[in-house]
Structure formats: structure tokens, C-alpha cells
Structure 1
């Protein structure tokens, strides 16, 4: 099922790419161990519902030609993200904690607010996720749901793995290991973006 593979690949890239939420996950894990990081890793399951619903509704109302243009734009955007991530991986360092120590419920709420106000999830779902979901839903709803499930399983799962690596032992997540993980996800993202671009350009 190609939609499932797309969801898994995009979820990995989104899960390990540096950003506000990943920094909160690492910070919580460094300060409070795996359980604290785990709560932050699950924030997308709480915060992304309005983002997904609004984006899918908007894209679903567009004509087919506009969705195809959006698919090409989204594919090129993913290629850009992949190349940028792979380049940054050469000198990237694992995120370090900031000045604020996290507190369980307050930290989860903070993560939800950060994620909802972050433009990146909105941009991803408008130009990448929603065109894929809408096109798959038109062919077979099960494929669209597989894409959604694969994306969030790996998105949250990759953050959980990072939280465990940091929380279990401060030296488990070495700079080299982090760079390899980040570089691999960047190359994967670039490949997925190329496939998405071709799918938007080629007739169905």
C-alpha cells in the first residue's frame, strides 16, 4: 500500500527533524527522564486534530487541477526540507535543555500551544498531507486512513525513541548517532518529495 509507505516515510522525517516540539521532548527527557519526554512526544495526537480537519476540508473543496498543483508544490517543499535536513545533519548537535524545567501537565499544555501556533504543521498539512489524503480517499478510504495512521505512528514513535535514548542515559544519544539519524531522514524526505512531485506532474 503506497500511501502507508508515504505516511511512514514522512512521519520519520517530521519526527526527527529539529524543531520547537522536538526540543521540548529532548528537554523534558533530560530534565525528567523518559516518562516526561513521552508525554511531550504524544503532543501531536492532542494538537493536530484541528490542523488536519481544517486542512483536509479546505483541500477537499478545491478542484482536481488545483489539488494537483498543490501536490507538486508540496513535493518540491518536501525535497527542500530533505536536502536542508541532510545538509544540517553534518554539524547538528542533539538539542539541549533551556532554562525552564518542565512540569508534567503544564509542560504538555505548553507543547500543545507551541504545536498549534507553529506554522510548520499547518504548512505540511495544507501542501503535502491533505492532497495525499484527499487523493487516496477518492480511490480507497482505507488507503487514506493507512497514510494517516502510518504518519502518526512513526511521527510519535520516533520522538518516543529519542525520548527513551536521552532519558535512559545522557550519553546514549551521541552527536554522531543523531547526525546519522537526521541525515538518513533527510535523504528519505528528499526521495519521498521527488515521488510526490512526479505523482503531481504525471496524469492519473
Structure 2
């Protein structure tokens, strides 16, 4: 029970913290509604497996610059996505009921790349997740699975809830409101990318 509660608490903190993936979920929900948003909300279930495995098995073998390079490269990619979203927002039209959703495969691929290049999942699993998992595993495999299951349940669930809220209200937005929200999500992406790049490039 303790391990499950720990996973739920850590998942909530990670799920609602502003960042690149959360901004992508907002932008996707504005463009394509709840279904588009929920696909991106569940991206950690696709992209985190190599992060978790490497963090659990090869933390000691990772070079010291690994996370810094991830941060710089990932930050630049997120900035590119943010600028693209801002440019799109200038002439974007609010979606109408029945409109076709944007390409889901491209959206999911972009989100997977962002998450893999984002140093936050790596830092979490190296510094917090892997030690907590090891401690839970020593207690019992079921405890370790409860920790991971609780973490990802709330991590993805909080983003799903946000996708529902944004997707449900997007048809009631005015043209100006829609463009402002879409542009705002682009600004959030750009800011998140700039912070990631700065952290990666800043001298230690």
C-alpha cells in the first residue's frame, strides 16, 4: 500500500507539472478534441520503457554529459514545435463538429520524440524512480509493480483529464480565443524548450 501511494503521489506531481508534453496535450486537444489529446496524454506509456530500463540497469554506465546533451537537443526540438504552433495560430480556424482530426500518427511520433529527448523522465527515473523501484522490489515484486502502476495511472490520467476539459470547450471558443489559446500553447512549448536547452548548454 505504501508503494502504491508513493507512486500515485509522484505521478500526480509529474502529471500536472507544466512542460513540453503537457503543452502538446493542450495543443492537440484544441486542434483535434479529446481523442487527439488523450493519445498524447498516454505517450509516456510508449516512450518511457527505454528510459525506465536504462535507468534501472545502466545508470552507472551513463556518461556525465548524457542528460545535458538530451536537454540541449530536446530543447531545440521543442522550440521548433513551439514556433511552428505559434505561426499556425495566426491563421488557424476553430474546429467545427465533424471536422476531421489532424494526423494522429504524426502527433504521437512528435510527442514520443519530445518525451525521449526530455531530460525530466531520465532525471526522475535515475534519481527517484529507480531507487524507489529497487526498494519496493526488495519488499516484493507486487509492491514494485504497484509503485510503477500507480505512477503511470496518475501521470497519464491527469493529462487525460486536461485533454477532456480542453477538448470539451474548444467548440465554444471564438476565433480570437481559439487563436490565443493555440498561440499560448505554442509559447509554453517555446519557453519549455528554451529552458531545457539553457540547462543543457549552461556550464556546470
TM-score band, normalised by shorter chain:
0.5 to 0.7
In structure 2, distance between residues paired with 1:134 and 1:37: 33
Q: Secondary structure at the match of 2:58?
A: helix
Match runs of 1:1-204 below 5 Å: 1-58=1-58, 98-100=86-88, 103-170=103-170
Q: Secondary structure at the match of 1:18?
A: coil
Q: Deviations over 1:165-189 (max 9, x none)?
A: 00001479xxxxxxxxxxxxxxxxx
Q: Deviations over 1:56-79 (max 9, x none)?
A: 1135x89xxxxxxxxxxxxxxxxx
User: How large is the RMSD of aligned CA atoms in angstroms?
Assistant: 2.1
Contact 1:29 1:36 in 2 (8 A): yes
Q: How many aligned residue pairs are there?
A: 137
In structure 2, distance between residues paired with 1:22 and 1:124: 16
Query: Which segments of 5 or more consecutive residues in structure 1 lack a partner in the other structure?
Result: 63-96, 173-204
Contact 1:27 1:98 in 2 (8 A): no
| Distance change in 2, residues 1:138/1:100 (3 Å) | farther
In structure 2, distance between residues paired with 1:139 and 1:29: 40
In structure 2, distance between residues paired with 1:5 and 1:31: 35
Higher CA-based Rg:
2
In structure 1, distance between residues paired with 2:147 and 2:88: 36
In structure 2, distance between residues paired with 1:138 and 1:123: 22
* TM-score, normalising length: structure 1: 0.63
| Distance change in 2, residues 1:27/1:138 (3 Å) | same
Per-residue deviation at 1:100?
4.8
Query: Which segments of 5 or more consecutive residues in structure 2 lack a partner in the other structure?
Result: 62-84, 90-101, 174-204
In structure 1, distance between residues paired with 2:16 and 2:87: 22
| Distance change in 2, residues 1:55/1:31 (3 Å) | same
